[in-house]
Amino acid sequence: MTKISFIGAGNVGTTAALRVIEKQLGDVVLLDIDSEMALGKSLDLSDYQSSVNGKCKIIGTSDYSLIKDSDIIVVTAGRARKKEEKITREGLAQINTDIIKTVAENIKKYSPDSIVLTVTNPVDKMNKIIFDILQTDRKKIIGVGSLLDSFRLKTVISEELKTPSSAVLGMVIGPHNDDMIPLFSKTTVNGKKITELITADRLTELKKEIQLRGKKITSLMGSGYYAIGNTISLMIETILQDKKEIIPASIILEGEYGITDISVGVPIKLGRNGAEVVEMDFSEKEELVEIAGNMLN
């Protein structure tokens, strides 16, 4: 049976787990430093599962040995931004770095061959830390963020053009922070280039809106979890069903786009073996290279 472990059973981890259980993608381990909370959530989710007539095994624990032989491990452990807290994603880096190092050591010890989906922010940095500790195939260490940003692009553009979000095809790449890069040069709405539907000045404003949407949500309710939760479950489904879909995600680059040794959101092909970088031609390439350069600081 497929096994999916969630390290961090907070809002994001459990929302993703809920979607995984709904779709019956595999057995679920919810691991959290707070063992009572993990157990409580596993019981609640087991009852939820009965309501959808599912039969996956659901465990809540703080015992890392139970993640052994996971097909996929989702890492959401850490501290999220709270409402009215001035701290940025990057400001959380120090707190979350220490947590992620412990998490990565335990993955290395108990389930080193799993595909890891890193979600804890700042995700690009955290993904690189996990990669450095696991020293495994870079295809298996994947940061989740740019796909959520791409859903935000769909929302913003569909509202602007008063069209269903399904009509909008587009991607956001780069870091999962305010420097993210909406690939407007590749975005289409009902097959038409967005650059022919919206003026360049308006696109600049919409770019800001996409980049700041996460911040806006956090200022209203604390760090979001519904959209990222489903984004994680979609990526799990894509991996397990070997869909080989091209989506954006953070992966360690080894010379692609002239960038090395940094984890940053780029188009990848996602399937059962993990993520393969798909090098594309787009006019935002210079921006990507410049922003990736800043990430080294």
Closest residue to bound ligand APR by CB: 10
Choice between 78 and 267, CB closer to ligand APR: 78
Among 145, 193, 148, which residue's Cα sits nearest to residue 169? 193
134 CB-near residues (< 8 Å, 6+ apart): 104, 107, 108, 112, 116, 140, 141
Of the listed 41, 81, 140, 176, which one is catalytic? 176
**In the complex, least distance from residue 109 CB atom to ligand APR, rounded to whole angstroms:** 14
- How many whole angstroms separate alpha carbon 12 and alpha carbon 15? 5
Q: Which is nearer to ligand APR, 121 or 150 (CB)?
A: 121
Task: Answer whether 104's CB lies under 8 Å from 266's CB.
Answer: no
* Smallest distance, ligand APR to C-beta of residue 282, A: 26
Tell me the closest approach of the beta carbon of residue 216 to ligand APR, in angstroms. 15
176 noted as active-site residue: yes
In the complex, what is the shortest distance from the CB of residue 66 to ligand APR, in angstroms, rounded to a whole number? 13
In the complex, which residues of this chain contact ligand APR (CB under 6 A)? 7-13, 32-34, 76-78, 80, 99, 102-103, 119-121, 223, 225, 228
Q: Is 53 left (phi over 0), alpha (psi -120 to 50) or beta?
A: left
Closer residue to ligand APR (CB): 61 or 238: 61
Name the strand (E) or helix (H) holding 189: strand 188-189
β-pairing, 245-254 vs 192-193, is: unpaired
8 versus 175: smaller Cβ distance to ligand APR: 8
Q: What are phi and psi of 238, to 5 degrees?
A: -60, -40
What are the residue numbers of the active site? 176
